[in-house]
């Protein structure tokens, strides 16, 4: 299906250059490297629509000697700046002057490099404004027949600037203003009318990317999904954004550096937008479209997300194994885990906690006592297996039942076993091992919480939740058995209840398999601040002891500068630092 949209005005396609506030900056320094040189003068001019809004100029004491040749070139001497403020006193005022404007400089990497280094040295966050380099813009705009080089003095003369560059900051900034305006007039004839166009024009984008900018024309400025298609209508790439128009336009600029995306853009002939009521709906639609259309430039379509759970095998003496099916009443499971390595790590940890067997031996339904056997395997020798291979399954059956209860929601035995082990490792000053076991506990705890939250969502026939949006309205979602069945918006000042009832009446009743990633996305959205539960057919809940109360503590411990060990006492779990001077080592990413 193709969507037709009315041609938008120029203003809807980006920010017109006439409405952009530019701050043109020039620096004088004692040398060429920010690491060893200092800034001696800053000049800046703020303009918009060709009108000067303000100027900023100050000498600066660089707190290093000014070399004689620099003094001769600029006229700035040690004596001249002796009573001037230092950069520490100037930077806050300069950043306030810049505000949210686009920064312009001639040979911008030089000036921006000094400014970012100055911010970093003072512990100030560089705001990372959009930057336009007039030197680079001149190189791609003017031919050698017009100018012999792109030095500021040459360009100022070419564009008849009334200000002659003098190697003084404010004069050079004023001259750069005239050069910028002259260049903007030139590129306007090439269709460059917005700041996005200007950035794309000066970027290192391929001709194929630049030629395909028209594909973004008319796309809506709304949240949703976009599909790049080839000449046959086949999906090449599926993406999602809070603003479809802005995101698609970025594929034709220097901000897009992925090689496969450049190749994809060169093949694409159209972009299909799907406007969504919310970011969550857009995310869900993206997941479903990638699964159904298998676009060749989406990595996930080539390597689908491999979600797996841990469960028990159905045999006389069960052992832990992996499955792609979430837990059911008959077969409890931990998960999901993303990838084979994490799944293996979790199986090893659970086997260690409960002394489960890990061998692949096939056992008869009725045990046969082996009178000649004197011991089981090495795990039995170390006290890590009940050795059902010796002829008795009873002890191992009890162990499996304990592990099953943990998987069903009673996480306390796992917590106690691992925290006691952490304390032992700490007492032995084995801090590296302690960190690894802390990470294992974090992984299992988070997996337990995820598992029970997903199981709960799968069981709820209908759940309605809403979240206030930035405009003062409500984003409403209908969720059925872990699947997004409907989404809509109640505009500000409008009673949302009739809209909710209309959504419920028209919501999808599909019973097709639910993507685990979809339910995970819904679960994460429900946890966001400001989400309100409207109604649900059954409680949104999890087992009391499934580990939810530990997640925040364990996550904090992983981020702490020192190792932390769980202490369990009558008042509940708590954290204490161990190994002063030792820094935490995190191996598992969850």
Q: What is the pLDDT of residues 340-362, one digit of tens each?
A: 788 888 888 888 888 888 887 77
List, in order, residues 6 or more apart from 581 with CB less than 8 Å away: none
Question: Could you identify the residue written with the tokens 């001769």?
Answer: 72
pLDDT of residue 589: 27
Model confidence at 4, in pLDDT bands (50, 70, 90)? very low
Number of C-beta neighbours around residue 125 at 10 A: 8
The mean pLDDT of 423-430, rounded to a whole number, is 86
In this predicted structure, which of 3-7, 116-120, 227-231 has the lowest mean pLDDT? 3-7
The CATH architecture annotation of domain 17-192 reads: 2-Layer Sandwich (3.30)
Topology of the domain comprising 203-302: GIY-YIG endonuclease (3.40.1440)
pLDDT digits (tens, 9 = 90+) for 529-548: 889 999 999 888 877 777 66
pLDDT at 175 over 60: yes
Closest C-alpha among 314, 557, 237, 299 to residue 426: 557
In this predicted structure, which of 199-208, 343-352, 445-454, 518-527 has the lowest mean pLDDT? 199-208
The mean pLDDT of 176-188, rounded to a whole number, is 93
pLDDT of residue 452: 81
The structure's pTM equals 0.57
**H-helix or E-strand spanning residue 161:** none
- Mean pLDDT for all residues in the chain: 82
Whether 259 contacts 203, CB under 8 Å = no
pLDDT of residue 564: 40
Whether 37 contacts 25, CB under 8 Å = no
Whether 104 contacts 180, CB under 8 Å = yes
In this predicted structure, which of 260-274, 291-305, 449-463 has the lowest mean pLDDT? 291-305
Phi (first) and psi of residue 558, to 5 degrees: -65, -30
Report the C-alpha gap between 283 and 406 in whole angstroms.
33
pLDDT of residue 356: 84
Of residues 441 and 572, the one with the higher pLDDT is 441
Name residue 136's beta-bridge partners: none
pLDDT of residue 316: 82
**H-helix or E-strand spanning residue 484:** strand 483-490
pLDDT of residue 306: 66
pLDDT of residue 208: 65
Of residues 565 and 100, the one with the higher pLDDT is 100
pLDDT of residue 375: 57
Top-ranked range on mean pLDDT: pick from 324-328, 330-334, 484-488, 505-509? 484-488
Report the C-alpha gap between 284 and 158 in whole angstroms.
55
pLDDT at 590 over 60: no
The mean pLDDT of 260-275, rounded to a whole number, is 88
CA 107 to chain CA centroid, nearest Å: 31
List, in order, residues 6 or more apart from 119 with CB less than 8 Å away: 91, 95, 125, 126
Residues annotated as catalytic (active site), given as ranges: 167
Question: 360 is written with which tokens?
Answer: 């692949």
pLDDT at 465 over 60: yes
Which is it for the CA torsion 368, 370, 376, 380, positive or negative?
positive
pLDDT digits (tens, 9 = 90+) for 390-418: 777 888 888 888 888 888 878 888 888 88
The mean pLDDT of 367-384, rounded to a whole number, is 63
pLDDT at 587 over 60: no
The CB-based long-range contact list for 304-309 (8 Å cut-off, 24+ gap) reads 305/338, 305/516, 305/517, 306/338, 306/339, 306/340, 307/335, 307/336, 307/337, 307/338, 307/516, 307/517, 308/335, 308/336, 308/337, 308/340, 308/343, 309/333, 309/334, 309/335, 309/336, 309/337, 309/451
Report the C-alpha gap between 445 and 434 in whole angstroms.
16
pLDDT of residue 254: 62
Model confidence at 10, in pLDDT bands (50, 70, 90)? very low
Whether 262 contacts 208, CB under 8 Å = yes
Is residue 554 classed as helix, strand or coil in its secondary structure? helix
pLDDT of residue 588: 25
pLDDT at 11 over 70: no
Report the C-alpha gap between 455 and 481 in whole angstroms.
9
Report the C-alpha gap between 481 and 508 in whole angstroms.
11
Question: 317 is written with which tokens?
Answer: 């003496």
Of residues 475 and 442, the one with the higher pLDDT is 475
In this structure, the strands spanning 307-312 and 320-323 are antiparallel
**Percentage above 70 pLDDT, the chain:** 83
pLDDT of residue 548: 65
pLDDT at 3 over 50: no
Please state, in angstroms and as integers, the Cα–Cα distance from residue 102 to each residue in 22, 46, 181, 196, following that order.
Answer: 5, 10, 14, 11
Model confidence at 71, in pLDDT bands (50, 70, 90)? very high
């Amino acid at each position: 299906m193709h969507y037709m949209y009315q041609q938008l005005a120029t203003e809807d396609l980006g920010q017109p250059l006439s409405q952009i506030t530019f701050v043109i900056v020039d620096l004088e320094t004692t040398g060429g490297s920010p690491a060893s040189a200092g800034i001696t003068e800053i000049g800046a001019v703020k303009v918009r629509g060709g009108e000067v809004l303000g100027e900023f100029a100050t000498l600066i004491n660089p707190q290093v000697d000014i070399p004689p040749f620099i003094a001769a070139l600029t006229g700035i001497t040690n004596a001249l700046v002796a009573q001037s403020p230092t950069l520490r006193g100037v930077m806050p005022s300069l950043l306030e002057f810049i505000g949210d404007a686009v920064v312009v400089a001639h040979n911008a990497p030089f000036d921006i490099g000094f400014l970012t280094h100055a911010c970093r040295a003072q512990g100030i966050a560089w705001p990372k404004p959009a930057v336009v380099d007039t030197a680079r813009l001149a190189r791609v705009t003017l031919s050698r027949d017009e100018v012999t080089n792109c030095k500021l003095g040459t360009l100022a003369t070419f564009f008849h600037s009334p200000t002659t560059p003098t190697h003084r900051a404010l004069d050079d900034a004023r001259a750069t203003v005239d050069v910028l305006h002259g260049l903007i007039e030139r590129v306007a004839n090439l269709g460059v009318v917005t700041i996005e166009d200007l950035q794309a024009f000066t970027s290192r984008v391929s001709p194929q990317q630049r030629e395909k900018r028209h594909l973004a024309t008319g796309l809506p400025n709304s949240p949703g999904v976009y599909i790049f298609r080839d000449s046959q209508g086949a999906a090449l790439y599926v993406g999602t954004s809070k603003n479809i128009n802005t995101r698609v336009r970025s594929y034709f600029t220097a901000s897009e550096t992925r090689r496969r995306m450049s190749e994809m853009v060169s093949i694409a002939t159209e972009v299909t937008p799907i406007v969504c009521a919310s970011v969550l709906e857009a995310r869900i639609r993206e997941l479903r479209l990638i699964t159904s259309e298998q676009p060749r430039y989406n990595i996930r379509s080539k390597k689908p997300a491999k979600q797996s759970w841990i469960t028990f095998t159905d045999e006389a003496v069960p052992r832990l194994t992996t499955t792609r099916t979430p837990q059911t009443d008959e077969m409890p499971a931990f998960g999901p885990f993303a990838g084979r390595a994490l799944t293996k790590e979790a199986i090893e940890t659970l086997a260690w906690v409960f002394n489960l067997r890990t061998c692949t031996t096939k056992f008869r339904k009725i045990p046969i006592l082996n009178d000649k056997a004197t011991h089981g395997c090495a795990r039995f020798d170390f006290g890590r297996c009940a050795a059902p291979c010796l002829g008795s399954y009873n002890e191992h059956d009890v162990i499996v039942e304990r592990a099953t209860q943990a998987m069903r929601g009673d996480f306390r035995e796992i917590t106690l076993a691992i925290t006691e082990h952490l304390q032992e490792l700490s007492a032995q000053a084995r801090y590296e091992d302690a960190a690894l076991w802390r990470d294992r506990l974090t992984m299992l705890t988070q997996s337990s919480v995820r598992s029970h939250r997903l199981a709960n969502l799968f069981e709820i026939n209908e759940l309605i939740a809403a979240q206030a949006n930035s405009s003062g309205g409500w984003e409403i979602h209908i969720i059925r058995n872990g699947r997004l069945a409907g989404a809509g918006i109640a505009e500000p000042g409008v009673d949302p209840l009739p809209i909710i009832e209309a959504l419920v009446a028209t919501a999808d009743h599909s019973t097709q398999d639910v993507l685990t990633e979809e339910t995970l996305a819904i679960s994460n959205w429900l946890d966001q601040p400001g989400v309100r539960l409207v109604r649900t057919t059954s409680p949104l809940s999890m087992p009391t002891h499934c580990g939810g109360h530990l997640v925040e503590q364990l996550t904090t411990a992983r981020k702490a500068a020192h190792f932390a060990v769980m202490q369990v006492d009558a008042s509940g779990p708590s954290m204490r630092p161990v190994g002063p001077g030792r820094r935490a080592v995190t191996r598992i990413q969850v």
